[in-house]
Amino acid sequence: MSDLEVLVTLFDEYRQFQGCASDLFAAHKFLLERFNHNESVLFIAYKDEDPVGFTQLYPMFSSVSLSRVYVLNDLLVRERARGQGVATKLMASALYYAKSLGAVRVSLLAAITNTAAQGGYDATGWKRDEQFQAFHVTFQG
């Protein structure tokens, strides 16, 4: 909770990167709800005192493996810190956390057009799903 305001700013920047309009109030409300219900785990990267990135894990379960899994849903590294290994360290922290809780898998989705991120995932040991296609139903709110 002590990092909430820093996370709100980073989370809002992430949403803007994804094409959403800035909305600090909504970002604050969303993150506060996740914290209050223990629905996500967030990691923040700092360079000295400067927050330069974050990632967020959402817990899920696998019925087939009868185990915990996580979705790495959000990852942002501010432009001034890119190319310095920040994303790699954030993902490594998230993976270590998930593994320490007995998770059997961490999954993520990357936009087909985000080839820079895909290259980073390939380079750090993530495996592309060759077995399943992603399907979605979108509801208008």
Residue 72 located in a structural domain: yes
pLDDT of 141 higher than 80 = no
Residue 21 located in a structural domain: yes
Residue 133 located in a structural domain: no
Q: Which pLDDT value is given to residue 116? A: 87
Residue 141 located in a structural domain: no
Residue 134 located in a structural domain: no
State how many domains the chain has. Answer: 1
Q: Which pLDDT value is given to residue 71? A: 97
Find which of 15-24, 109-118, 120-129 is predicted with most confidence, using mean pLDDT.
Answer: 15-24
- Domain residue limits at 9: 4-123
Q: Could you report the per-residue pLDDT of 4-42, keeping only the tens digit for each? A: 999 999 999 999 999 999 999 999 999 999 999 999 999
Give the C-alpha separation, 46 to 81, whole Å.
10
Q: Could you report the per-residue pLDDT of 60-101, keeping only the tens digit for each? A: 999 999 999 999 999 999 999 999 999 999 999 999 999 999
CATH number at residue 62: 3.40.630.30
Q: Give the tokens for residue 111.
A: 């936009």
pLDDT of 44 higher than 70 = yes
Q: Which pLDDT value is given to residue 4? A: 93
Q: Which pLDDT value is given to residue 140? A: 82
Q: Which pLDDT value is given to residue 104? A: 96
Residue 135 located in a structural domain: no
Percent of the chain with pLDDT over 70: 99
Mean pLDDT on 100-119: 93
Residue 50 located in a structural domain: yes
Render 88-116 in DSSP notation, one character per residue.
Answer: HHHHHHHHHHHHHTT-SEEE----TT-HH
Mean pLDDT on 41-64: 96
Give the C-alpha separation, 101 to 24, whole Å.
32
Q: Report which of 112, 104, 90 is spatially closest to residue 41, judged by C-alpha positions.
A: 90
